[in-house]
Each structure stands twice: as structure tokens, then as C-alpha cells.
Amino acid sequence: MEWNADRVIESFDNAKEENVLDRYRNGQVVELPADHEVWMTGDIHDHRTNFKKLVGAAKLDENPTRHLVLHELLHGDHFDNDGREDSWKMLHMAAELKCDFPDQVHFLMANHDLAQIHGEGIMKAGLSVCEAFNKAIKRDFPGHDMSVQVSITEFLLSLPLAIRCPNGLWFSHSLPADDQVEGFDYGVFERSPLTPKDYAKRVGPVYQLIWGRKYTPAGIAKFAEKVGASLFVTGHQPQESGSTSVGDQLMIVDSSHNQGVFLPLSTSDTYTVDEMQSRLRKYVSVDLDDS
């Protein structure tokens, strides 16, 4: 099947503009208002059934004060026999959702997004996921693949880094590792636009934020003090049961498989990690026909 390149490019371009002009965005942080509801997801990785369940259950048209947070949409398991992986379709669905609900759908930049921007860095089952992604675009947009690639890259570059709520909740794809917290460039959250140095491998603050894995409760507490947050919800690290916690300030959620979860929260109520745990919803509990 050959897709209409002009329509796809238009969707990504419009969604990019909506990201940049998001009414709640301040620099690289989306500041959600009080007394709203926010549904935080984990990495989705092109799990199309979970995405459809999430969108159907959210009923954004009926709930104007409900927000969805989406991240790590790319690089799933939909490979063809020639090793082409078409998670651009998932990204396109999310971009269209942003255009339909610009004040309610928000993204977070993730490490797979940055890898796709740079065209390198992640292997899966012996294949470069970025190369497989590019091959699918060449298959689906013959003669127009470079234009589609540019529109996707610009869309990914428009994604914010974090979401903050009035109750101290902070959402980002991950957090800097303990040994990076003290020297982290916190000015990155206020800069717009970002610079190439911000994305630099290992030393740039964007890279450190979205690739971080090695953190402890002590390091998390230091980062919380620096950014003025009290509780974090992230993804990035796979969770077979759907979630885990690190100390009393961080919950990690995963939306990329059948036991995956999402987390509905208020932007005003205060929570403990245990209270957030009790609010988790598994995608298997959502009926696709009724969502």
C-alpha cells in the first residue's frame, strides 16, 4: 500500500506546531493547570491495541479537563519479512490525536526519539531499529521518503522534556543518573529552542534526562529539590508486571505489553507512591469494544 505523503507530512507538521504552541508549555516543560485529570503512560513501543484502548477509554471529547501523556511510541514489533518496521504509523496516529485535541494531548521526548533523530544507537534482535524504521518509510512513500523523514524529525524535535502539575507531580521519560544530578544543566528546561549541545551523546542534558537509569532514592531526592517536584512518574525501564517504584518518590510504568499499565491522576490531589500504585489500570482490564 502506498500512503499519501502530502497528507502524512501535513499531519506531522500541524502536530509539530501544536507542540510548540501548546497553551500550557513553558520552555521545555508543560505546566498543567490545577483541578484537571492527567493519564500518564509508560513506553508504548507501537503496541497498537493498548494505544486504541487508552484513547477510547479517555473519551477526550467528553472530558475537556482530561489530559493524556504519551511517550516512546516508536520501535515496536511490527516487522515485515524484509526487516522493515512501520511504527511511523503509531506516531502518525498520535500526531493526529494531538491535532484533534491540542490542549489535552501532550508528549514527552524519549530516548528512542533521539535515537531516530540521530539515526543510530539502538539494536533489537540484532537489527538497528532506526534503520528498520527508515526502510518502512521508503517502502510506504516511494519517491517521497526523504520529505516524510524530515517532517517526522521536526515533529520529534518539537516534543517537550517534562510535564509538571501544581501538586508536585513531575512526568518525564526518565531521570538523570545519580552521578549526573549535581552537574546537570537545569537551564535546559527553560531554553527554547534547544541547541545541538543539549542533545549531545552522554554529556548533553537532554540525553542525560531521557537515557538515565542508575538512580537511587538519594539521587531522586536531589533532582526533586532542583526542579521543585515531590513525586515522579517515568517510563524507560521495562517492567514485566507493568510498574515498579524506587524509594518513595518515583514510580516507573510500562505500557508496551499486555500486562502494561497507565496511571490516571489528579493535578491537584497529593499522593504517595502506594496511593499511585492503587490507581494503576491495566490495559487488559479495558474492553476495546466498550472503550
- pLDDT tens string 61-104: 999 999 999 999 999 999 999 999 999 999 999 999 999 999 99
Q: Is residue 159 part of a domain?
A: yes
Label residue 124 by pLDDT band (50, 70, 90): confident
Tell me the residue range of the domain where 115 lies.
5-285
What is the C-alpha separation between 172 and 170, in angstroms, rounded? 7
| pLDDT tens for each residue of 137-164 | 999 999 999 999 999 999 999 999 999 9
Is 290 a domain residue?
A: no
Residue 195 DSSP SS3: coil
Total of domains in the chain: 1
| CA distance linking residue 102 with residue 120, whole number of Å | 30
| Residue 255, domain member (yes or no) | yes
Nearest to 206 by CA among 118, 97, 87, 103: 118
Contact 252, 244 (CB under 8 A): yes
The pLDDT, as a whole number, for residue 123 is 79
Average predicted confidence (pLDDT) for the chain = 96
Backbone angles phi, psi at 177, to 5 degrees: -65, 160
Residue 237 belongs to a domain: yes
What 8-state DSSP symbol labels residue 28? T
Which residues lie across from 79 on neighbouring strands? 85
Position 121 scores a pLDDT of 67
Specify whether the CB–CB gap between 265 and 37 falls below 8 A.
Answer: yes
Whichever domain contains 166, its CATH number is 3.60.21.10
Residue 288: its pLDDT value, please?
82
Q: What is the DSSP string of 270-290?
A: ---HHHHHHH-EEGGGS-TTT
At residue 126, the pLDDT reads 72
Inside any domain, residue 175: yes
> Quick check: 256 pLDDT over 90?
yes
Q: What is the pLDDT of residue 147?
A: 98
Task: Work out the number of other CB atoms within 10 angstroms of the CB of residue 284.
Answer: 14
76 falls within a domain:
yes
Statement: residue 173 has pLDDT above 90: yes
pLDDT at 1 over 70: no
Neighbour count for residue 200 (Cβ, 10 Å): 13
d(CA 193, CA 80): 37
What mean pLDDT is predicted for residues 11-27? Answer: 98
User: In which band, very low, low, confident or very high, does the pLDDT at 122 lie, cut at 50, 70 and 90?
Assistant: confident
Compare 2 and 243 and report the one with higher pLDDT.
Answer: 243
Give this prediction's pTM: 0.96
- What's the pLDDT band for 215 if we cut at 50, 70, 90? very high
Q: Do the domain assignments include residue 291?
A: no
| pLDDT at residue 290, as a whole number | 58
